[in-house]
Chain A
């Protein structure tokens, strides 16, 4: 009987997952053309990292993107991203070679692979990022590019020159233990 209770005490910490997360991850994107530059920031991104397996998941609320120009923000939601139908963009995947990675206080480059879902369209991606530890938090960042055409986002001919075909995306995360 006693043995069983001890067994319980051992097994509970083992199966409790080592989850780090944030609800206030920063995602910004930048579209640069000779006509105009468009930038939007979102600081309401949810990101979860399983420290055991290296699995990563993102939930990015489209309505959470703030533009300096509110008309642009309305068009972004209503005409391009259709946020009433697709309220979130998401990513589900993992960090490659996670078993070989030892987190330290200095940034190290990692490759993140998985499925990006934007505007209802899923696409397998593999992008570089950096990860480190700081004061018990996991810090991550990444900078990559996405093609607008990959996600069925329709750009009318009239504004085709104003919106870049390749969008730069910046991600900054501070993940706390759950």
Chain B
């Protein structure tokens, strides 16, 4: 009995001697919070990123691609020429966004939506990935007399992303593109591909980004695998993305299926994306 009391006293004082009061209250943490900034912008380079415009904000994005750098100094590495796209997208909440855009290439208009179904959680046993579905309908208006159905292209992408660390994020993008009209008989209306994109932060506010799309199945002989290598600079409310890519069009059916440039002769395109966010 004496021993028991001694033991008990020891145990009681042992608790008393705990050096930090806060340890009495278990840290339940905030692990259920979703991760922030898997990517800094709604695009990785060319590819759609898992990010949406923030809830109840309107994002105006301008995507600018210069001409081919192959003519060198004659046209200042393509600066004389430009292909531009602007789009406007609205974040309905943290999970749903939709928008529309217009690209000068093929005078293409489009409407699109991005819906997040899963959000990666900060840590612990929470969801390990983020998952979103991106859908889009493009209508080209460059040819004047054409059936409406022949003008249409449909894109659907699954975006599967994970922020592995504060500086490294990776995204996989199974993609399906259906074109109602094709000009090359060796081409197919239905095209599958898998996109891979990632970013590596260099400093707190800059990162190197890369994305590319690997074709699945047959392609026409002139097909080139599209890729983009970018550099993100975050300046307060803006993200400025500089890039070199082999695709001049900055919308899905172009940069995935219709990249034209190649390394040889520096036949590549310099470009940038800028976005401005308006709170509504």
Q: Which single member of A15, A46, A55, A61 contacts B13 (CB below 8 Å)?
A: A15
Task: Considering the complex, give the chain A residue whose CB is closest to the CB of B237.
Answer: A71
For the complex formed, measure the closest distance between the CB of B123 and the CB atoms of chain A, giving whole angstroms. 9
| 1/0 contact string of B1-26 vs chain A (CB within 8 Å) | 11001001100110110001110110
Counting CB contacts under 8 A, is B186 at the interface? no
- Asked if B29 lies at the interface with its beta carbon under 8 angstroms from chain A, I say yes
User: Can you report 23 A-B residue pairs in the complex whose CB atoms are below 8 A from each other?
Assistant: A1-B1, A8-B8, A15-B12, A15-B15, A15-B16, A19-B21, A19-B24, A23-B25, A46-B22, A48-B21, A48-B24, A57-B20, A59-B22, A70-B54, A74-B36, A74-B37, A78-B36, A78-B37, A78-B166, A82-B166, A88-B27, A156-B205, A158-B235
Question: Across the interface, do A4 and B5 meet the contact criterion of CB distance under 8 Å?
Answer: yes
CB closest chain-A residue, reference B36: A74
Residue of A nearest to B165 (CB): A84
> A143-160, CB under 8 A of B: which get 1 and which 0?
000000000001010110
Q: Is B104 an interface residue (CB 8 A)?
A: no
What is the CB-to-nearest-CB distance from B138 to chain A, in angstroms, rounded to a whole number? Answer: 29
- Please indicate the chain A residues that have their CB under 8 angstroms from the CB of B25 in the complex: 21, 23, 46, 48, 59, 178
A44 to B25, CA, bound (A): 13
Secondary structure dominating the interface of B = loop
Asked if A59 meets B122 with Cβ closer than 8 Å, knowing A11-B9, A78-B204, the reply is no
Interface status of B277 (Cβ within 8 A of chain A):
yes
In the complex, chain A residues whose CB is within 8 Å of the CB of B150 = none
Which chain A residues numbered 60 to 94 have a C-beta less than 8 Å away from chain B?
Answer: 61, 63-64, 69-71, 73-74, 77-79, 82, 84-85, 87-88, 90, 92
Contact B22 A90 (CB under 8 A): yes
CB–CB B33/A55 < 8 A: no
| Residue of B with least CB distance to A80 | B204
How many residues from B make CB contacts under 8 Å with A? 32
CA distance A15 to B13 in the complex (A): 7
Q: Is the CB of B166 within 8 A of A84?
A: yes
User: Which residues of B pack against A, CB within 8 Å?
Assistant: 1-2, 5, 8-9, 12-13, 15-16, 20-22, 24-25, 27-30, 33, 36-37, 54-55, 122, 166, 204-205, 235-237, 277, 279
Interface centre among B13, B22, B33, B277 (most CB of A within 10 A): B22
> How many angstroms from the CA of A10 to the CA of B25 in the assembled complex?
26
- Rounded to whole Å, the gap between the CB of A47 and the closest CB of chain B is 9
- Least CB distance, A54 to chain B, in whole angstroms: 11
A49: chain B residues at CB < 8 Å are 21
A123 interface residue, CB < 8 Å from B? no
What is the distance, in angstroms, from B119's C-beta to the closest C-beta of chain A?
A: 14
Determine if A29 is an interface residue (Cβ-Cβ < 8 Å): no
With contacts A21-B24, A92-B22 known, what are 13 further pairs, Cβ within 8 A? A4-B2, A12-B12, A15-B15, A15-B16, A46-B25, A46-B27, A61-B29, A63-B30, A63-B122, A69-B279, A71-B54, A84-B166, A159-B236
Q: Which residues of A contact B8 (CB under 8 A)?
A: 8
In angstroms, how far is the closest chain B Cβ from the Cβ of A8?
Answer: 7
On chain A, the residues within 8 Å of B21 by CB distance are 19, 48-50, 55-57, 92
Chain A proximity of B89: nearest CB distance (Å): 15
Residues of B within 8 A of A79 (CB): 204-205
**Separation of A155 and B18 alpha carbons in the complex (Å):** 38
B36 touching A59 by the CB < 8 A rule?
A: no
Q: Which residue of B lies closest to A44 (CB)?
A: B30
Q: How far is the CA of A50 from the CA of B166 in the complex (A)?
A: 37
Shortest CB–CB separation between residue A57 and chain B, in angstroms? 4
Which residues of chain A are near B16, meaning CB under 8 Å? Answer: 15, 17
CB <8 Å contact, B12 and A11: yes
10 residue pairs, one from A and one from B, having the closest CB atoms: A57-B22, A57-B21, A15-B12, A48-B21, A63-B30, A74-B36, A70-B54, A84-B166, A61-B30, A79-B204
Question: Nearest A residue to B28 by beta-carbon distance?
Answer: A23
A178 touches B29 (CB 8 A): no
Residues of B within 8 A of A21 (CB): 24-25
